[in-house]
């Protein structure tokens, strides 16, 4: 446990960091889904308890080459559909530093598209993207659907609450049914860590992780990197920085249950930033061994050093026990109040993945300051998700 005021640091390479985070939080995907479905919970958001971690990293699966032979079984047919070029985005670990920078360069191109009178290009015309959300979402689902439509893709929308999942249909049957309709990519959010990895075994389309349990949310981390880079570019008079080297970024709040924190630690550190985790001991992961971070419980002692304050919501829907005396006390100790915002550097920025709970992790007046970039994150989310879809499915120029 990390005690208030105590700072620790573990140095490691980005790949080691990914392995450490996965080892601590990613679970064996088959075990996760089998356990959830055994409880009849695969269609009900938040109803499955996640099994213990076993260290299975969520990394890209390599497809099996099948040559020209005629498939004799359903599994062989699935492999033929996959072919040699199907790619997935399940974790930030699927992208190295250059991969992250390439997504940002593509996002720059789509930023120009967004300024056109008709912000649409035919890059994915004839492709179909399905959004499959087993948990509630506003920003991520609408962002992916907007991104796909601006690339001229057809979009299929699945919502668990209005589907056969409420009748007990398993996750496997659900995704295989959607895949049978002929899709090219599936964007999936699920309450069980490892679910997107499991889905790659069942369907022939590209799979994009839109958030799985407490494991990862890679496109959130990508849009956050892009937003920080954009703010730096403005600060430097239009000079685009090569990466995030030299920045001090504090991620504050419910680290223990946050998939966003895990993806951002990997992405920020891969781009050279110094990352600090700030939280009470009960909201820190059980172990930070291998994480490229410092950790402390003292927010006030760090404010003057920070370039970015990244706030997280208290995820009450994932809390299996009482970890805080009260939300008021949390706000008093860790909320970004007006006084704390005044202690930041003049050029520091404030970020939040949403949804914000005003009066808990951030004071209402701070949420509306120009330095708080929450709506810019949402705007950039469309650009970055256009870039991700194009990166996985596109073949040609924007």
Residue 111 lies in a domain: yes
* Catalytic-role residue among 217, 256, 313, 385: 217
Closest CA to 176 of 31, 33, 386: 33
pLDDT of residue 295: 97
The model's pLDDT over 252-287, given as tens digits with 9 standing for 90+, comes to: 999 999 999 999 999 999 999 999 999 999 999 999
Asked about 139 being catalytic, the answer comes back as yes
Residue 152 lies in a domain: yes
Angle at 326 between CA 324 and CA 331, to 5 degrees: 95
pTM score, two decimals? 0.81
Both 290 and 310 in one domain: the answer is yes
Both 14 and 69 in one domain: the answer is no
- Residue 187, phi then psi, degrees to nearest 5: -100, 115
Both 162 and 245 in one domain: the answer is no
Residue 2 lies in a domain: no
Asked about 159 being catalytic, the answer comes back as no
The model's pLDDT over 95-105, given as tens digits with 9 standing for 90+, comes to: 999 999 999 99
* Catalytic-role residue among 97, 139, 149, 379: 139
Residue 332 lies in a domain: yes
* Catalytic-role residue among 88, 127, 128, 140: 140
**CB-neighbour burial class of residue 322 (10 A; exposed 0-12, middle 13-18, buried 19+):** exposed
pLDDT of residue 139: 92
Domain CATH code at residue 208: 3.40.50.1370
Asked about 217 being catalytic, the answer comes back as yes
Both 206 and 58 in one domain: the answer is yes
Both 47 and 85 in one domain: the answer is yes
* Number of folded domains that form the chain: 2
Both 223 and 207 in one domain: the answer is no
Count Cβ neighbours within 10 Å for each residue of 228-259 and write b for 16 or more, e otherwise.
Answer: bbbbbeeeeeeeebebbeebbbbbbbbbbbbb
pLDDT > 80? residue 383: yes
- Residue 146, phi then psi, degrees to nearest 5: -65, -45
* Catalytic-role residue among 88, 127, 141, 189: 189
Residue count (the chain): 398
pLDDT of residue 19: 65
pLDDT of residue 70: 43
Of residues 223 and 17, more confidently modeled: 223
The model's pLDDT over 315-342, given as tens digits with 9 standing for 90+, comes to: 766 555 557 768 888 899 999 999 999 9
Do residues 266 and 93 touch, judged by C-beta distance below 8 A? yes
- According to DSSP, residue 359 is labeled T
pLDDT of residue 175: 96
What is the distance between the alpha carbons of residues 177 and 164, in angstroms, rounded to a whole number?
Answer: 11
Both 54 and 187 in one domain: the answer is yes
Q: Which residues pair with 250 in a beta bridge?
A: 276, 309
Both 64 and 192 in one domain: the answer is yes
Residue 42 lies in a domain: yes
User: How would residue 117 be classed by pLDDT, with cut points 50, 70 and 90?
Assistant: very high
Residue 1 lies in a domain: no
* Catalytic-role residue among 116, 162, 167, 375: 167
- Find the domain containing 175 and state its range: 26-214+380-393
> Residue ranges of the alpha helices (H) in the chain?
14-25, 29-38, 74-82, 97-114, 139-150, 171-180, 195-199, 218-235, 259-270, 327-334, 338-342, 364-367, 374-393
pLDDT of residue 255: 95
């Amino acid at each position: 446990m990390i005690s208030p005021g105590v700072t620790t640091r573990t140095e490691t390479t980005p790949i080691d960091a990914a392995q450490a985070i996965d080892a601590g939080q990613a679970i064996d995907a088959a075990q996760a889904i089998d356990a959830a479905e055994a409880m009849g919970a695969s269609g009900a958001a938040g109803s499955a308890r996640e099994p213990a971690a076993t260290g299975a990293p969520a990394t890209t699966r390599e497809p099996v080459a099948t040559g020209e032979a005629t498939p004799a079984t359903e599994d062989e047919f699935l492999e033929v559909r996959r072919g040699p070029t199907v790619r997935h985005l399940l974790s930030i670990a699927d992208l190295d530093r250059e991969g992250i920078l390439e997504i940002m360069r593509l996002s720059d191109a789509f930023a120009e598209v967004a300024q056109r009178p008709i912000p649409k290009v035919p890059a994915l015309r004839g492709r179909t993207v399905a959004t499959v959300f087993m948990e509630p979402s506003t920003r991520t689902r609408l962002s992916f659907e907007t991104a796909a439509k601006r690339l001229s893709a057809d979009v299929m929308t699945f919502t668990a609450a209005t589907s056969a999942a409420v009748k007990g249909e398993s996750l496997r049957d659900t995704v295989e049914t959607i895949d049978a309709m002929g899709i090219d990519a599936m964007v999936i959010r699920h309450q069980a860590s490892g679910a997107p990895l499991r889905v790659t075994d069942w369907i022939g389309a590209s799979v994009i992780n839109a958030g799985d349990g407490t494991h990862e949310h890679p496109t959130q981390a990508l849009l956050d990197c892009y937003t920080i880079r954009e703010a730096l570019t403005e600060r430097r008079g239009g000079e685009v920085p090569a990466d995030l080297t030299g920045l001090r970024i504090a991620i504050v709040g419910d680290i223990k249950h946050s998939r966003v924190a895990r993806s951002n630690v990997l992405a920020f550190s891969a781009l050279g930033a110094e990352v600090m985790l700030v939280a009470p001991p009960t909201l820190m992961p059980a172990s930070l061994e291998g994480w490229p971070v410092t950790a402390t419980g003292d927010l006030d002692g760090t404010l003057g050093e920070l370039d970015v304050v990244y706030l997280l919501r208290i995820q009450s829907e994932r809390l299996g026990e009482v970890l805080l005396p009260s939300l008021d006390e949390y706000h008093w100790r860790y909320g970004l109040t007006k006084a704390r915002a005044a202690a930041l550097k003049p050029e520091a920025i404030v970020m939040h993945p949403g949804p914000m709970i005003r009066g808990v992790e951030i004071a209402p007046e701070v949420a509306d300051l120009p330095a708080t970039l929450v709506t810019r994150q949402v705007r950039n989310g469309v650009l970055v998700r256009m870039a991700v879809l194009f990166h996985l499915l596109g073949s040609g120029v924007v």
